[in-house]
Amino acid sequence: MKLPWRVILLWTLPVLVVGFFLWQGTFSPEPGQAGNNSANSRLSYGRFLEYLDSGRVEAVDLYDNGKTAIVRASDPQLQGNIQRFRVDLPEKAPELITKMREADVEIDSHNDGDDGAIWGLLGNLIFPVLLIGALFFLFRRSNNAGAGPGQAMNFGKSKARFQMEAKTGILFDDVAGIDEAKEELQEVVSFLKQPERFTAVGAKIPKGALLVGPPGTGKTLLAKAIAGEAGVPFFNISGSEFVEMFVGVGASRVRDLFKKAKENAPCLIFIDEIDAVGRQRGAGIGGGNDEREQTLNQLLTEMDGFEENAGIIIIAATNRPDVLDTALLRPGRFDRQVSVDAPDLKGRMSILNVHARNKKLDPDVSLESIARRTPGFTGADLANLLNEAAILTARRRKSAITLAEIDDAVDRVVAGMEGTPLVDSKSKRLIAYHEVGHAIIGTLVKDHDPVQKVTLIPRGQAQGLTWFTPSEEQTLVSRSQLKARITGALGGRAAEEEVFGDAEVTSGAGGDLQQLTAMARQMVTRFGMSDLGPLSLEDQNSEVFLGGGIMNRSEYSEEIASRIDSQVREIVEQCHQNARQLIRENRAAIDRLVDLLIEKETIDGDEFRQILSEYTDIPEKEQYTPQLLQ
């Protein structure tokens, strides 16, 4: 593994410094040493004077300018044998030399020269020199990289990645499920490859195309396909890379980007997440002279200003078109707004075919059944689904992906990771009644989605789950269908009330109550499905950051607000009473299903309906896919 140069530098500098000082301490001469002439032991200065007075000292070698001495003297404790002693001499003792000469002691002085001073000077200079060298190295690397502390003047340079011929590895054949968007963008590619075909009839090349859609629907994948098909110079940048803390940097980067694009025209510029820089001006508090708005102004000018940008096509992507500035969306800047929505049943089958190319699927696996079970899934969700199924297959040591792995992968993607099953207790029985209550209402109410399975295996935050699987697409939702969903959401709470009593009602229905309250309020305030009449009383897009939610108040009076609350309560209460009645009428079937659910922990929809049909008639349903309410 190749370590980053900063890590190597941070580890090398301390090692060099410590090694140098250890080397200095090893090879520099210590005071009192000269080759092999070293002392065996130390001798105090007072004892040395006693030896000198008694005539036992034969020779003295002076070191360190007279600060240290190696004394050869006879030791009375060793029967007069000659020994070497090290003695630290005082700095000011001129009479000592005279006294040693009077005692006829052999005196020799050893000059160490300037080695100590040189080593001390080098020791003081080595760390500053290494520090200055490291800083120089850092600045040099910053200059070579084109960014960083040494490149204050290069802040305004564009950070767009440039490819003369974009080799993304993605073509239009690799994009499935969004045929309408592909057709719109294929014309852009054709315009770049064969412009004379369009200019012959007076058509002008579109200046920009804005890809709009929820996350994961394939906007960036489409941009890669355009780059791979067009074969022209390609610039790729994110909207957030324009914005910096310094005012004017973003506008400078926009100018630099379009300058490079003009030099390589005809070319493509892809700006991902353009809402980071293209938000509506004047919506914030504190004026409009900030960095982001100046960057947007420069972008508007470059796209369609006084100077013509011939041959430059801009592709941008966002999942928040409602926050973009209106000047950015007008024709002449973004001539086309391509909607990239979640795929329908046919689109999901096409996407699954693309992602199943490199997967080993069991022959019994039907991609159509997977597509029918995954309404509302985007392309990214479907790719993740098949990948999770492949991981589960490898974990279970199977050679091919089977329906069991597909079902578990769908549950994991939608509800979360599987938890530990509950032990048989009162809590488990209560959860079983709650989930069977949902399933009973979903089965007996005609306009509700059919039950796919009921399980007590925890996933995510849910201790139990009831799955409903529609089989047919539908874009409109009727009043009876909305009421059926509200009634089904109240099935769990109704079962708890009827079986255990009001005192034992739990918080397990908290999420259900939030959903059904939102649906009931939308019926009254947005869809006109109440006694208030066909009125839309609330706007779903009044958000604070657009400047429309701070000072604006509701467009209806307090009396109407009170009537709205009353209508919402009436709808929910009516559905609640219907749910409790169905639970009371089918108590015997519920008890049997609960016992079976506790025993098996999972009951599929067919088995559930077969058991329930022994107790009551089950209405025939018109199966459909529910439309997500916003």
pLDDT tens-place string over residues 407-430 = 888 888 887 777 777 777 788 889
Q: Is a pLDDT exceeding 60 seen at residue 39?
A: no
Supply the pLDDT for residue 483.
93
Supply the pLDDT for residue 36.
41
Supply the pLDDT for residue 542.
46
Q: How far apart are CA 422 and CA 598, in angstroms?
A: 10
- Report residue 152's pLDDT band, with 50, 70 and 90 as the boundaries: very low
Q: Is a pLDDT exceeding 50 seen at residue 342?
A: yes
Q: Is a pLDDT exceeding 90 seen at residue 620?
A: no
Q: Which CATH number fits domain 426-613: 1.10.10.10, 1.20.58.760, 1.10.3720.10, 2.60.40.10?
A: 1.20.58.760
What's the mean pLDDT in 29-49? Answer: 60
* Residue whose C-alpha is closest to residue 245's, from 290, 283, 202, 189: 290
Supply the pLDDT for residue 567.
93
pLDDT digits (tens, 9 = 90+) for 91-132: 766 777 777 877 778 877 776 555 556 666 666 677 677 777
Q: How far apart are CA 505 and CA 487, in angstroms?
A: 17
Please measure the distance between the N-terminal and C-terminal CA atoms of the chain and give it in whole angstroms.
49
Task: Name the range with the highest mean pLDDT among 61-70, 221-230, 320-329.
Answer: 320-329
Supply the pLDDT for residue 73.
80
The DSSP letter of residue 173 is G
Q: Is a pLDDT exceeding 50 seen at residue 26?
A: no
- Report residue 577's pLDDT band, with 50, 70 and 90 as the boundaries: very high
pLDDT digits (tens, 9 = 90+) for 239-265: 887 776 666 677 888 888 888 888 887
Written as one string, the DSSP assignment of 362-430 is: -TT--HHHHHHH-TT--HHHHHHHHHHHHHHHHHTT-SSB-HHHHHHHHHHHHH-SB-PPPPSSHHHHH
In the chain, what are the domain boundaries?
Answer: 5-27+116-154, 41-111, 161-339, 345-414, 426-613
Supply the pLDDT for residue 593.
92
Q: Is a pLDDT exceeding 90 seen at residue 487?
A: yes
Question: Which residue in 184, 241, 291, 435 is the catalytic one?
Answer: 435
Q: Which residue has the higher pLDDT, 431 or 546?
A: 431
CB 211 within 8 Å of CB 306: no
Strands 312-318 and 451-455: unpaired
Q: How far apart are CA 229 and CA 173, in angstroms?
A: 10
Q: Is a pLDDT exceeding 90 seen at residue 573?
A: yes
Torsion sign across C-alpha atoms 540, 541, 544, 549: negative
Q: Is a pLDDT exceeding 60 seen at residue 551?
A: no
| Model confidence, pTM | 0.65
For the domain 161-339, what is the CATH superfamily, name and number?
Answer: P-loop containing nucleotide triphosphate hydrolases (3.40.50.300)
Cα dihedral 434→435→436→439 (10° resolution): 130
Q: What is the mean pLDDT of the chain?
A: 78
* Residue whose C-alpha is closest to residue 491's, from 507, 512, 520, 477: 512
Written as one string, the DSSP assignment of 426-484 is: HHHHHHHHHHHHHHHHHHHSTTSPPEEEEE-S-BTTBSSEEEE---S--S---HHHHHH
Q: Which residue has the higher pLDDT, 273 or 554?
A: 273
Cα atoms in the 13 Å half-sphere on the side-chain side of 125: 6
Supply the pLDDT for residue 332.
83
pLDDT digits (tens, 9 = 90+) for 493-535: 999 999 998 888 888 888 889 999 999 999 999 888 988 888 8
Q: Is a pLDDT exceeding 90 seen at residue 579?
A: yes
* CATH class of the domain whose range is 41-111: alpha beta
- Report residue 8's pLDDT band, with 50, 70 and 90 as the boundaries: low
Q: Is a pLDDT exceeding 70 seen at residue 10?
A: no
Q: For this structure, is 435 an active site residue?
A: yes
Q: How far apart are CA 171 and CA 189, in angstroms?
A: 11
- Report residue 301's pLDDT band, with 50, 70 and 90 as the boundaries: confident
The DSSP letter of residue 332 is T
pLDDT digits (tens, 9 = 90+) for 43-88: 787 787 888 878 788 888 887 777 788 888 876 666 657 778 788 8
pLDDT above 90 as % of the chain: 14
Architecture label for domain 345-414 = Orthogonal Bundle (1.10)
